[in-house]
Amino acid sequence: MKRILRSLFYAFGPHTRRVVRRLAFAPVDLYALLRYGGRSRYNGIPLPLPGEIFTGGGNFLENGLLFKSYFQRLGGLQPNESVLDIGSGLGRMAIPLTDYLEASAEYHGFDVVPSAVADCQHRITSRFPHFHFQHVSLVNDLYTLEGASADAFTFPYSEDQFDFAWATSVFTHMERTEVQNYLREARRVLKPGGRFLATFFLTDTEALASARGSAYEFKVQRGEDWYMDAEVKGANVGFTPKNIQRWAEEAGWTEARIHLGRWSGRSGQTTDFQDIVVFS
Ligand SMILES: C[S@@+](CC[C@H](N)C(=O)[O-])C[C@H]1O[C@@H](n2cnc3c(N)ncnc32)[C@H](O)[C@@H]1O
């Protein structure tokens, strides 16, 4: 059922999808506003309503707080470090960091959806001026149909600018040449000793088999990569762990430590929903 609804949803264009979501969630949003007398807040920042959250499921604040703990525990993030948020969305990762990162620690985030960037500037930067958000005009068939290809994009930052970077639920919507470029670019803008945490759907044989018949079954194979939807390539993309390791090496990373997720329903110890890879 979830799979059928998802493919119906993907039949719309990116903008219409966001409008449909707002309409479908209008009663939930209204109930939340009435019940709590307005939007709920974290550190004084108003949080998006369910209908506004086009960037993934689950509890927006809880997931952000969870990743804040992964950044510290798996990525060694310190309060005085400068950070880069690749695909910053609606600020799910940024908001919980506003009471952790010191004012001297610059936060920079960029995203391809202009309204999401404007929204973060309005809600977050206005309260925390060391949090900067920037729109970049790149195409992604799940999020925006306008812009250049991301596979030759140069991040708008200087070499060795950041200590820590992340891309949460972003490479799960990008093509291999784009991911390869982003791994190189992340390496370039991070200082020596910098760490980069990214989430993936690592489609090895075991994960593909475990996910069969579930809402997260990858059915479309193109070369060595796996897609969930035949039409919308960015819908959900999976890469093999071997390729990620190889691309990391080619981009200049010496280590790519994998923390498996539970998306496929595989057995054994898991960390998050998506697979997490920490490059260092
Ligand atoms: C599933 S959302 C995740 C947003 C955010 N990282 C989070 O965890 O809440 C994926 C985000 O990636 C952005 N995105 C897609 N392609 C991108 C690209 N080539 N460069 C930067 N951001 C991109 C989308 O606009 C969207 O905000």
Question: 10-32: per-residue pLDDT in tens?
Answer: 778 888 888 888 998 899 899 98
The pairs formed by 14-22 with CB atoms below 8 angstroms and a separation of 24 or more are 14/141, 14/142, 14/143, 14/144, 14/145, 17/54, 18/54, 21/51, 21/54, 22/51, 22/52
Whether residue 40 lies inside any domain: the answer is no
Whether residue 175 lies inside any domain: the answer is yes
Q: Report the percentage of the chain scoring pLDDT > 70.
A: 97
Band of the pLDDT at 262, cuts 50, 70, 90?
A: very high
Give pLDDT, residue 235.
86
Flag whether pLDDT at 74 surpasses 80: yes
Whether residue 33 lies inside any domain: the answer is no
Whether residue 213 lies inside any domain: the answer is yes
> pLDDT, tens digit, for every residue of 214-235?
999 999 999 999 999 888 888 8
Whether residue 178 lies inside any domain: the answer is yes
Whether residue 51 lies inside any domain: the answer is no
Pick the residue whose CA is nearest to atom 11 on ligand 1: 87
Q: Considering just the CA atoms, what is the radius of gyration of the chain in Å? A: 18
Spatial neighbors of 263 by CB under 8 A, at least 6 apart, are 201, 207, 211, 216, 273, 274, 275
Whether residue 34 lies inside any domain: the answer is no
Whether residue 102 lies inside any domain: the answer is yes
Say if ligand 1 is within 6 A of residue 169 CB.
Answer: yes
Residue 11 to residue 255: CA distance in whole angstroms: 39
Flag whether pLDDT at 2 surpasses 70: no
> From the CA of 141, how far away is ligand 1's center (Å)?
12
Give pLDDT, residue 92.
98
Band of the pLDDT at 170, cuts 50, 70, 90?
A: very high
Give pLDDT, residue 86.
98
> From the CA of 120, how far away is ligand 1's center (Å)?
13
Range of 214's domain? 58-279
Do you know the residue count of the chain? 280
Of ligand 1's listed atoms, the one at least distance from the Cα of 167 is 6
> From the CA of 170, how far away is ligand 1's center (Å)?
5
Say if ligand 1 is within 6 A of residue 120 CB.
Answer: no
Give pLDDT, residue 232.
83
Average pLDDT, the chain: 94
**Ligand 1, pocket-test mutation among 134, 171, 173, 189, most atoms within 8 A of CB:** 173
Give pLDDT, residue 37.
85
Please tell me the total count of domains within the chain: 1
> From the CA of 220, how far away is ligand 1's center (Å)?
22
> From the CA of 172, how far away is ligand 1's center (Å)?
9
Say if ligand 1 is within 6 A of residue 202 CB.
Answer: no
Residue 185's closest CA among 163, 146, 152? 152
Band of the pLDDT at 184, cuts 50, 70, 90?
A: very high
Band of the pLDDT at 9, cuts 50, 70, 90?
A: confident
Average pLDDT over residues 50-54: 92
Which CATH number belongs to the domain containing residue 115 in this structure?
3.40.50.150
Flag whether pLDDT at 81 surpasses 80: yes
Flag whether pLDDT at 3 surpasses 70: no
Flag whether pLDDT at 212 surpasses 70: yes
> pLDDT, tens digit, for every residue of 134-156?
999 999 988 998 999 999 999 99
Say if ligand 1 is within 6 A of residue 173 CB.
Answer: yes
